[in-house]
Amino acid sequence: MEHGKKFIIIGPKNAVTYKEIFRLIKDTKLWIGAGFANGNAYFSIPADSGRDFADGVYDESTGLVKFRNVGWFTNFDHGRRHQYLPLMTMADNLKFSKHKEIKGKAAYDRYDNYDAIEVPFTDAIPSDYEGVMGVPISFLDKYNPEQFEIMGRSENEDLYGLKTRVYTTKECQEAYRRLFGKKGTYDMNATPVLDGRKVYQRLFIRHRTQPAEGTK
């Protein structure tokens, strides 16, 4: 980045949560490349490496090792990055979604500590919601910068000014005691919280434009 070079790098998908990497993704200077279907990547290793792997990871017949949760990080543009994600309206998601966490609910859940709704699946993003939404990190595989704006992500320091509540140490200790019946600290400042319970790391996005006719 410092020398303005084009690059394609293989890395763990969790790297999108690194402070330095996420800043580049948010500023559209770096994005996820196409490939490695379902995050499965296969690498060749020397036959005499002597390493032990869990069942199903190493294929002796091919000499390949399967790694999960792997992706491309690049600043080369590609067509999939500009495809609009087809979405249903909020009402239709609540009525027809294939996800039991969404279908049949009266409304999307809202976080206790962020002014945003919880969208646990990328295909459940409502097409007509104008506010901020919390989505899984895997959303970046479908991220179109013309369709969505990345506002920030969940983290301890409130680097993006999105938090509406910061929990005290006492509140975190009381939450741990309530949930687990013993003494400890339940760190509720690192992730979004729903009804007093932490959820996974989330990216915060909002619609930038409405999809063109025929792409909804």
pLDDT band at residue 210 using 50, 70 and 90 as cut-offs: low
CA angle 79–125–156, rounded 5-degree value = 95
Q: Is the pLDDT of residue 213 over 80?
A: no
**Calpha distance 143→84 (Å, rounded):** 9
- Among 36-40, 76-80, 205-209, the minimum mean pLDDT is found in 36-40
Joined together, the tokens standing for residue 195 give 């009804």
Q: Is the pLDDT of residue 37 over 80?
A: no
Domain limits of the chain? 1-81, 83-216
Mean pLDDT of the 97-120 span: 97
**Which positions ≥6 away from 180 have C-beta within 8 Å?**
186
Half-sphere exposure in the Cβ direction for 213 (13 Å, CA): 0
Query: What per-residue string of b and e applies to 104-132 under the rule 16 or more CB within 10 Å gives b?
Result: eeeebbebbbbebbbbbbbebbbbebeeb
Q: Is the pLDDT of residue 144 over 70?
A: yes
Mean pLDDT of the 165-189 span: 95
Mean pLDDT of the 125-134 span: 97
Q: Quick one: pLDDT at residue 215?
A: 45
The closest alpha carbon to 194, from 137, 139, 117, belongs to: 117
CA angle 192–126–86, rounded 5-degree value = 125
Q: What is the mean pLDDT of the chain?
A: 91
Q: Is the pLDDT of residue 216 over 80?
A: no
What's at 114, amino acid-wise?
A: Y
Q: Is the pLDDT of residue 214 over 50?
A: no
pTM across the whole model:
0.87
Mean pLDDT of the 81-108 span: 96
Joined together, the tokens standing for residue 104 give 């049949």
Which H or E run includes 95? Answer: helix 90-96
Q: Quick one: pLDDT at residue 171?
A: 96
